[in-house]
């Protein structure tokens, strides 16, 4: 049985309560960690979000509740769910289960990294891709998984309509090894034309660290704020 960190909390006016609850859940579950971590872009980040550590039924069930609540509150319309391999597969599955529990039963599909040449064959599994498709993932670093998903969805004759993620890092994306002014989320919204819904953002994490005391994290707010100041995307 997993153990959670005891966290002393206090409330603050104007906070997104769902985002604050999610950040606290991620910290307590050991999914959101602080220290020094190298990102795909080669940056040294003072925090790391590893959705793979939502690793038991209770955590996955709670995670699905956060996704579903944020998604249903967003007003985004969709006809089915798609989970890109690999992390998007369990995320999409548990979200589909939670939505069905809430009375919103929708089809679910996912892809394999390598197409099968036996059995049913192909790279897609689950319900046929059709209508307005919602892509589910954990974070969006470069938008690569989204672009790959869009290609698969379009090849099937469906429409990639929106993306829901757990955490928006709100930081500059990289192209050809160079920082650019927009974030991956902004690129997906503005260049690819998809709606993006996130359970929480880096700004929510900063609010959390400012108003909550977590053992061993006395300087976490300062370090995360410095990272945001250096790599944050304008308007993200």
Range list of H helices, 75-143: 88-101
CA dist list (Å): 129 to 83, 144, 152: 11, 20, 9
CA-to-CA distance for 207 and 72, rounded, in angstroms?
A: 24
CA-to-CA distance for 231 and 45, rounded, in angstroms?
A: 10
Output DSSP code: residue 42.
Answer: S
Does residue 40 have an active-site annotation? no
Exactly one of 118, 201, 211, 221 is catalytic; name it: 118
Exactly one of 59, 116, 201, 211 is catalytic; name it: 116
Does residue 59 have an active-site annotation? no
CB 68 within 8 Å of CB 95 = yes
Contacts for 4-7 with beta carbons within 8 Å, 24 or more apart? 4/28, 4/29, 5/30, 5/214, 5/215, 6/215, 7/212, 7/213, 7/214
CA dist list (Å): 185 to 35, 43, 113, 142, 168: 24, 18, 23, 8, 7
Q: Which residues are catalytic?
A: 116, 118
């Amino acid at each position: 049985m997993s153990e959670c960190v005891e966290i002393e909390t206090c409330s603050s006016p104007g906070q997104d309560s769902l985002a604050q609850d999610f950040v606290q859940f991620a910290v307590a579950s050991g999914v959101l960690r602080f220290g020094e971590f190298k990102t795909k872009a080669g940056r040294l980040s003072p925090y790391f979000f590893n959705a793979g550590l939502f690793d038991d039924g209770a955590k996955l069930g709670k995670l699905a509740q956060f996704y579903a609540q944020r998604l249903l509150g967003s007003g985004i319309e969709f006809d089915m769910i798609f989970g890109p391999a690999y992390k998007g597969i369990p995320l999409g599955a548990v979200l589909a289960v939670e939505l069905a529990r809430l009375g919103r039963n929708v089809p679910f599909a996912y892809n394999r990294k390598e197409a099968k040449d036996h059995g049913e064959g192909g790279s897609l599994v689950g319900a046929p891709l059709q209508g307005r498709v919602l892509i589910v993932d954990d974070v969006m670093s470069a938008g690569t998984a989204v672009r790959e998903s869009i290609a698969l969805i379009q090849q099937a004759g469906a429409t990639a309509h929106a993306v829901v993620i757990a955490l928006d890092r709100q930081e500059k994306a990289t192209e050809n090894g160079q920082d650019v002014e927009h974030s991956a989320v902004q690129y997906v919204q503005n260049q690819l034309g998809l709606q993006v819904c996130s359970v929480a953002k880096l700004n929510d994490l900063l609010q959390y660290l400012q108003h909550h005391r977590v053992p061993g994290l006395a300087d976490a707010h300062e370090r995360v704020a410095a990272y945001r100041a250096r790599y944050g995307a304008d308007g993200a």
